[in-house]
Structure 1
């Protein structure tokens, strides 16, 4: 696989990069090890200063880096700018809160006495260099939500970014260098996927985190398991979006469109399966389809564009294959379903809505990574919950209801890492993020996320 910037709006190769050779890769791994040996002893005040400086620099670079992101992976530039701004806020959140999140914990005095100790507490210590294998769809945010807590905890970071966003990856390395982090604290490794196993097996690497596809997660987890190294995995999602009779249907339809086509539909936590009670199905469907048809598809550098191209030609082909399979098996095409005309050689696809989905269709079980929505009509809450859970994934979920009993049942029964009511799933530094089933394990963000790559140490004194 080549490491290159290829503009998805045109298909043009803009710039190519050489993969790191064995000697340079080894040098960088040693730098990460040596940096950790000293950086782990920096106090929270110094770590806070460095991360705030990095946040300030990113804020200054907002427009420039947003255009780089759009050039490399195709999201509308307004969304790229919002992603970068979110990174700034989250870096500041961790800079200001990490010390409290990682403060020593003291058990109940009675338990200390019962253990025979005069004093006992728990301390969070850094593990060491952490390898981050990151995807292209949120090329800034996916990295920062790992890097900010990991660096505040005293770890060092090694970034293996997706091969189609090399300029964004190199920018992130330069960002932390310009902020004043010691050499080796955060490095970008321009390597292909074949080199990941060697890095992960290297004894200088303490742990790994991956956001990406299920096959990639399975590969990294098996290697790390063989090496007995900690991993956090955030994999695919096929999030349900339940609309029940007490919902504000017009608002649900409005939010549903954004929830489905954010990032050109290429988001693990984008709503993908719209499960609608028969009492409001017709009303919701009419409003949803009308709004999907009205979306502006076009040049992602245009501030008015709402849906840009998919990130790759193969990604569009995969999406087309799912739609064609569903239509061949009897699905109803309510809008879209084609490549739009007049947009040149880019990898565009129309916002699409399919209804009449049945279990034998591939789209019923496979993740749709693009602006394609599937609609399901259900007679009651039991059927809605069963349909929502009929998926190998369990990342997040959305429920639209004003009924307290329905709310409690959804919290208790939905198989997902999050349940969002009357709003769209979104990640925030304050809340744990991650999934169950084939959506992965472990958590990012919040106090849970910063502790994932810590040595949770019991200290006991007689």
Structure 2
């Protein structure tokens, strides 16, 4: 895949970039190692000042960087601004909290005495350059939620971004440079996917984090495993959205529309499978379908647009194949189901709701990465939970109910990294984020995220 900015609203190639040569990659790896040797010795106070400076610069750049994101991957401009603002928030959160999150810990006195020590502490130390392989769908946020904790921990970052968002990737490198970080603390590697293995195998690279597809995660995890290097993976999701008898159906349906089409439906944590109890099914269905029909599909640069184009022509073809397979096998199209006739040239797809889903349909098992929802009718909580878990993925989930017993059952039994009760899934710097099953392993954000790439060191003192 060429490294290029291609406007998904028009299909026009706007700018192309040459991949780094092996010699240039080597120079950047050497620079990263040198930067790490210096950055790891800085104080939390100094790191916090740098991160706050980066946040200030990004805040000043919000309008420009939002337009770049929209131009490169098609998210509505208002969503792009919100993404940039969220990054500012995360930077400031880690600048304020990193020192306390990584403070030395003292084991229980009885355990210290039993170990034969006079005293002992547990210390969190940085590990070195970390390779981040990042996707296009949240081209700023996915990177910052890795970079902010990694840099505050004393590590340095090497970014291999998706090939269709090169300008956003280069902006991030420049942002941290402008903030005053040592040269090499955060670098963008404009390389193809075929060059990732060589970088990951380099002994100067300590670990890797990847957000992306399951095949990409398998590839990175395989190489990292062979090299015995730590990885964090956040992969696909086919998140269930349960609506149970005591739910506020009107609010659940309105939220469901946003939960499904956020980021043009191209979000791992977007709700995709809507599992609704028979007692409230018809009322939810009517409101949900009406809400999906009312969405404005169009130019993502327009403030009035709710849903922009998919990021690529192939992405739309993949989505169409899932829908066509379902319809051919008996699914009912309640709304949408194709390309909007009035929008030519771009990779648009109409918000769609499918009902009558059966196990032999691909969309029952595979992630639909676009504004397509599947609607299921169930007769019991047992059936709802079983259907929620009937997927290889386990990123997040949503449960709508006022019944405390139902909530307890769902929290206990749904196989996912998150259960959001009476609300849609969202990430926040203070809450750990990650998945189960084939949605990956490890956690980002919060205390768990900053500690993922630390050497947890036991310091034992004898007499």
TM range (shorter): over 0.9
Question: Partner residue of 1:424?
Answer: 424
State the secondary structure of the residue aligned to 1:316: helix
Distance 2:38 2:55 in 1: 23
1:47-62 map, 5 Å: 47-62=47-62
Question: Partner residue of 1:340?
Answer: 340
Distance 2:142 2:336 in 1: 30
Question: Partner residue of 1:301?
Answer: 301
Distance 1:342 1:17 in 2: 32
Question: Partner residue of 1:329?
Answer: 329
Question: Partner residue of 1:392?
Answer: 392
1:161-180 map, 5 Å: 161-180=161-180
Alignment size in residue pairs: 462
Distance 2:423 2:38 in 1: 44
Uncovered stretches (5+) of structure 1, i.e. residues with no partner = none
State the secondary structure of the residue aligned to 1:333: strand
1:134-149 map, 5 Å: 134-149=134-149
Question: Partner residue of 1:221?
Answer: 221
Q: Deviations over 1:224-260 (max 9, x none)?
A: 0000000000000000000000000000000000000
Cα drift, residue 343 of structure 1? 1.4
Question: Partner residue of 1:127?
Answer: 127
1:232-381 map, 5 Å: 232-381=232-381
Distance 2:111 2:185 in 1: 39
Cα drift, residue 344 of structure 1? 2.1
Q: Deviations over 1:327-370 (max 9, x none)?
A: 00000000000100121200000000000000000000000000
Distance 2:37 2:290 in 1: 58
State the secondary structure of the residue aligned to 1:208: strand
Distance 1:454 1:404 in 2: 38
Question: Partner residue of 1:80?
Answer: 80
State the secondary structure of the residue aligned to 2:444: coil
Q: Which TM-score applies when normalising by structure 2?
A: 1.00
State the secondary structure of the residue aligned to 1:279: helix
Question: Partner residue of 2:18?
Answer: 18
The list of structure 1 runs, each at least 4 consecutive aligned residues, that deviate by more than 2 angstroms after superposition, is none
Q: Which TM-score applies when normalising by structure 1?
A: 1.00
Question: Partner residue of 1:192?
Answer: 192
Distance 1:385 1:10 in 2: 42
Question: Partner residue of 2:37?
Answer: 37
Uncovered stretches (5+) of structure 2, i.e. residues with no partner = none
Distance 1:183 1:291 in 2: 49
Distance 1:420 1:332 in 2: 28
State the secondary structure of the residue aligned to 1:130: strand
Matching of residue 99 in structure 1 with residue 99 in structure 2: yes
